[in-house]
Amino acid sequence: MNSRMPDLERLVPAHVKCFEAYIPSKPDDVLMEYYGVKRLLRLNNNENPLGPPAESREAITKFPTVKASVYPSGDAFHLRQLLAARFKLDPDQFLVGNGANEVIAFVIKAFCQEGDNIVTADKTFAVYEWVARFSGYEARCVPLRDYGFDDEAMLTAADERTKIFFVCNPNNPTGTYWSKKRLTDFLDRVDRRAIVVVDEAYLEFVEEDDFPDAMDLIGLYPNVVSFRTFSKMYGLAGLRIGYLCGAPEIVDIIRKTCVVYSVNTLAQVAAIEAVNADHHVAATRKAVREARDYLTREFGKMGLFLVSGQGCYMMARLPMSDSLAYRKLMAKGLMIRTMTGFRFPNFIRVSFGAMEDMEELVRGMREILPSKR
């Protein structure tokens, strides 16, 4: 048997060689042992502190184990029917994926080929850029302006090979958003020359009257594709389920790159129960509002510069290394997101959680900051 490695220099494409893999954090039990803590408070992934809606919890609890041996609905048939009824659209306008990350890949694969590019922001949800780059396409990442997407600069960065604009609305991690007028002005200027993806992963958290719903714009702007997820507001992050919605002709194209059977049955069942759980949205918004107000007040007393808008998170700039702060907070059982790797040096991002968790975070922050605050 020849155990020599294959000729990786020849086999691996250049755009994969130069890409640095994302390494996710270790499981909680491993982290707790490493940092010597008995509990770990996760405030790093924008998860819903209330968890899933009661209806989804019940569906998960009652899920027949025998169904684990049966393939799921390959195209999430019943969930798409329900989404169509909820949003008054056709079921074939929806594609369900294994989290929003998967539908990002569907869209890029559907529309990009060698030499094409995508345009997005430099400090936003990084997966648009990552998928484009490791697929061999250029990602043109435009700097934010006032912590928000810069529509003018995005249009300037585009050319005839731009296939997709990615707009995260509201933006993760800054919480800024485009109003309906600003979004429609942008769409008018794109003039259907490219697909415009509006990632609305945090739409359900927004309470501003001028915030747009991209699904309402699909009829007028058929180049719009809306992304939604059940991971954030609906607390189903562990089951990995999200979806996109667009004009029938656009979705028919994307469907060609869609991997069927990638969404498991339990995720579909739980999501079906979450679609109309408006009471859960109201309760979560209340909890998020209270947590935001509290952290804004307490971090303000510490003299921290804050970036906070819509969504279930905020960023704070520290007078110390964010990596050092991470280690010190982890030793107290508090897990936050460092942001230097996401082009915000010495910022941290924290998820809004239950009030007792926010109070514990504030105590931890007071103890680790270098000067008396």
Torsion angles phi and psi, residue 240, rounded to 5: 55, 90
pLDDT tens, position by position, 254-293: 999 998 899 999 999 999 999 999 999 999 999 999 999 9
Which residue spans within 40-191 are E strands per DSSP? 41-42, 94-97, 117-121, 138-142, 162-168
Q: Would you state the pLDDT for residue 239?
A: 97
The Cα 70–Cα 57 span in angstroms is 21
Q: Would you state the pLDDT for residue 17?
A: 92
With a CB cutoff of 8 Å and minimum separation 6, the contacts of 194 are 119, 158, 162, 163, 164, 165, 223
Torsion angles phi and psi, residue 204, rounded to 5: -65, -15
pLDDT tens, position by position, 301-322: 999 999 999 999 999 999 999 9
What dihedral angle (degrees, nearest 10) is formed by the CA atoms of 90, 95, 96, 98? -170
With a CB cutoff of 8 Å and minimum separation 6, the contacts of 267 are 230, 236, 239, 240, 241
* Residue that has been written with the tokens 């504030």 in this structure: 362
Q: Taking residues 209-218, what's their average pLDDT?
A: 97
Strands 242-246 and 94-97: antiparallel
The Cα 270–Cα 357 span in angstroms is 26
Mind spelling out the 3-state secondary structure of 36-67? CCCCCEECCCCCCCCCCCHHHHHHHHCCCHHH
Q: Taking residues 209-228, what's their average pLDDT?
A: 97
pLDDT tens, position by position, 96-121: 999 988 999 999 999 999 999 999 99
pLDDT tens, position by position, 42-91: 999 999 999 999 999 999 999 999 999 999 999 999 999 999 999 999 99
Q: Would you state the pLDDT for residue 372?
A: 55
The Cα 257–Cα 108 span in angstroms is 9
Identity of the residue numbered 38: K
Q: Say if residues 256 and 75 touch (Cβ distance below 8 Å).
A: no
pLDDT surpasses 90 at 330: yes
Question: End-to-end CA distance of the chain, in Å?
Answer: 65
> Other CB atoms closer than 10 Å to residue 75's CB: what's the count?
17
The Cα 16–Cα 373 span in angstroms is 46
Residue-averaged pLDDT of the chain: 96
State the DSSP H helix or E strand holding residue 350, giving kind and residue range, or none if neither. Answer: strand 347-351
Structure-token pair, residue 347: 């910022």
